[in-house]
Amino acid sequence: MNTFFSGEQLLPLYPAALLFVFSIIIFLRGKERMALILLFSGSMMLGIFMSLLDPFLVLWDEQFHALVAKNMIEHPFSPMLYSNPVLDYDYRNWTANNIWLHKQPLFLWLMALSIKIFGVNAFGARFASVLLHALISLIVFRIGKLLINSRVGFYSALFFAVAYYPLELVSGRYATDHNDVAFLFYVTASIWAWIEYSRNKKMIWLILIGIFAGAAVLVKWLTGLLVFICWMIVILLHKEKRNNIQEYYLFLISITTAILLFLPWQLYGYFMFPKEYLYEMTLSAKHFFESIEGHNGTWLFHFDAVKQLYGSGTFIPVMLVASLFVFFKRIEFTHRVFFLSFIIFVYIYFTLASTKMTSYTIIVYPIISLGIGALTDLFLEYVKKNLIHFFKSAQKLIFHFLTLGILITISILLIRISKIERSHTMKKPLDNHQREKWLKEYQMIKRISSQVSEKNYVLVNCPQFMNIPAMFFTDITAAYDFLPNKLQVEQIKREGYKIAVYDNGNIPEWLKGEKILN
C-alpha cells in the first residue's frame, strides 16, 4: 500500500476493514446479531484509528475541551480551564478563564471519565467519542430496520460508521469535535426512542425520549429539544392525534422528563457561578442574532457546507436528493412528516442564525445515511429481481458477491481516506492544518514535562495557545502564552510558585534568573 501513513497509524485500520467485510458477509448469510457485533467492533476499531492519528490535541476546540475535562476529574461540578489561575483573568474570555461554562457539561463529564480510564493523553480525551460514534451506528441500524427493513438498517449503519466527517470529529480535527459527536449521539437516540414509541406506545420509550433529549440539551443547549418540535408537528398534522387530548398529555410527560434532566444543572450553574453563567447564556443567545467570533456566512453557507460534510463531487447533491427521495417514499406518512420536519427545521434555523459553523447541521447525518441505505437497498433489489435471474445455477452466490462489492465500493467512497491522509500526514504539508507545527509543539511539551517535574511551577512565554495543551499534558500549576511583567512575576512568587520560562531567544533581564526551558 503506497501511503504516507506510518505503520503505527495504519495498525488499527486493517482489522477495522476486515471486521466490516466480515460483518457484511455474515449479514448476507442471515446472521444479523453477529453481523451487528462485527459492525460495531469495526466501527470501534475505525474510531480508534482516527483517535490515534495525532498524538497532540487539536486547535480548535479540542485543546480546551480536553483541559476542562481533565480538571473535571478532580472537580466534576466546577468546570475549569485554569484550575488555579495564578494571574488575573477575564471571566468572559473562554480561552483563558477559570470557571468554564462555554459549553454544557455532559460531554465534558464523558471525556473526564475517558481520561480517568485511559490516561492524560490524546486517546484518553477522544475515546468517549469513539464509543459514542460506534453506538450511533447501532442506533441507525435499529431506526432503518423499524422504518423499512433490516437490510436498509444494516447498509445505513455501515455507511454512517465509515462516513468521513463524523470520523474527523472523533479525531478532534474539526470544531467543535467531541461536543458535536455527543450531541449527534443524543439527538439520534431521541429520534430512535420516538420511533420506538410511535410503534408500540410503551411508557419506557416516552421517558427515554425525554432522557435523550434532555441529555442533548446538556451537551449543546436547546436545539437538543428538536425531537419535540417534530413530534408536535406530527400531532398537529394528524387529525386523530390533533383532536386527542391524550396525545398532548403524553407529550407533556416526555418533555417534562427532559426539563427535569437538564434544569438542575442550569439552576446549579446560575447560583454557583452567576456572573459566568449569565454571561455565557447571553452569549449563546447572541449566536442567532450576531456573528460570534467571525463565524459568519451567507444564506447559502450550510448548503455549500454539504461539500465538506458529504463530498465535493458534482454527483454528490444529486445522490443526496435521490437518497432522501427514496427514503421518504419508503416510510409511512407519520415518519415522513417527522423526518421532513427535522431536516427543514435544521436548515431553516441555522440558515437564519447569524453565527454559522459547518458542523451545525451534523445532526442530519444519520438521516442522510438512512437515505443512502434505502437507495442502495432499492438498487440491489432491482438487480436481484431483473438481472441476477439470468444466472440460474448460482443466483444467490453472485448476488452476494455483487452486494459485497457495492457496499465496499460505497464505503471506500464515503470514508475519503485520501482526505484523511492529507490531514494527518505530511503528504500535503500546505494542506494538513499545520500538522508539523503541532507535532513540534507536542515535542516541546514533552521536553517541558521532563524538565519541570514539580507541580508548583508556573510556565510563561509559551508560543500562542501552547499553554493550553501544556497544562493538559503536564502537572504544572498554570501556563501562559505571554511574558509577565515585573509586577506579575512578583505576584506569582508571592503566592508561593516557581517560574519556568520557555526560551524563545527573547527573554528580558528580570526573568533570566528563573528556570529556563528549551
What is the per-residue pLDDT across 462-512, written as a single tens digit (0 to 9) for each? 998 999 999 999 999 999 999 999 999 999 999 999 999 998 888 888 888
Q: How many Å apart are CA 443 and CA 115, to the nearest integer? A: 20
Amino acid 294: pLDDT: 82
Over residues 270-282, the mean pLDDT reads 97
Cell of 500: 519556568
Q: How many Å apart are CA 352 and CA 323, to the nearest integer? A: 26
> Is the separation of the CB atoms in 170 and 126 below 8 Å?
yes
Most confident option among 130-139, 299-308, 396-405: 130-139
Share of the chain above pLDDT 90, in %: 85
User: How would residue 514 be classed by pLDDT, with cut points 50, 70 and 90?
Assistant: confident
Residue 389 has pLDDT above 80, yes or no: no
Residue 182 has pLDDT above 70, yes or no: yes
Over residues 442-451, the mean pLDDT reads 92
Amino acid 510: pLDDT: 80
Q: How many Å apart are CA 244 and CA 276, to the nearest integer? A: 44
Q: How many Å apart are CA 133 and CA 243, to the nearest integer? A: 39
Amino acid 392: pLDDT: 61
Amino acid 391: pLDDT: 61
Residue 72 has pLDDT above 70, yes or no: yes
Amino acid 395: pLDDT: 79
Q: What is the residue-averaged pLDDT of the chain? A: 94
Residue 36 has pLDDT above 70, yes or no: yes
Cell of 339: 423526518
Domain extent listing, the chain: 7-53+101-424, 436-517
User: How would residue 1 be classed by pLDDT, with cut points 50, 70 and 90?
Assistant: low
Q: How many Å apart are CA 409 and CA 61, to the nearest integer? A: 33
Over residues 235-244, the mean pLDDT reads 92
User: How would residue 304 be classed by pLDDT, with cut points 50, 70 and 90?
Assistant: very high
Residue 453 has pLDDT above 80, yes or no: no
Cell of 132: 459514542
Amino acid 314: pLDDT: 80
Cell of 55: 498524538
Q: How many Å apart are CA 371 and CA 369, to the nearest integer? A: 5
Residue 251 has pLDDT above 80, yes or no: yes
**pTM of structure:** 0.96
Pairing of strands 515-517, 478-479: unpaired
108-117, 165-174, 197-206, 384-393: the lowest-pLDDT one: 384-393
Amino acid 5: pLDDT: 94
Amino acid 393: pLDDT: 60
Over residues 408-425, the mean pLDDT reads 95
Residue 60 has pLDDT above 90, yes or no: no
Q: Measuring CA to CA, which residue among 494, 470, 467, 495 is closest to residue 483?
A: 467
Q: How many Å apart are CA 303 and CA 97, to the nearest integer? A: 35
Q: Where are the alpha helices (DSSP H) in 273-305?
A: 274-289, 301-304
DSSP state of 80: B
Who contacts 41 (Cβ-Cβ below 8 Å, separation ≥6)? 19
Share of the chain above pLDDT 70, in %: 99
Q: How many Å apart are CA 400 and CA 24, to the nearest integer? A: 9
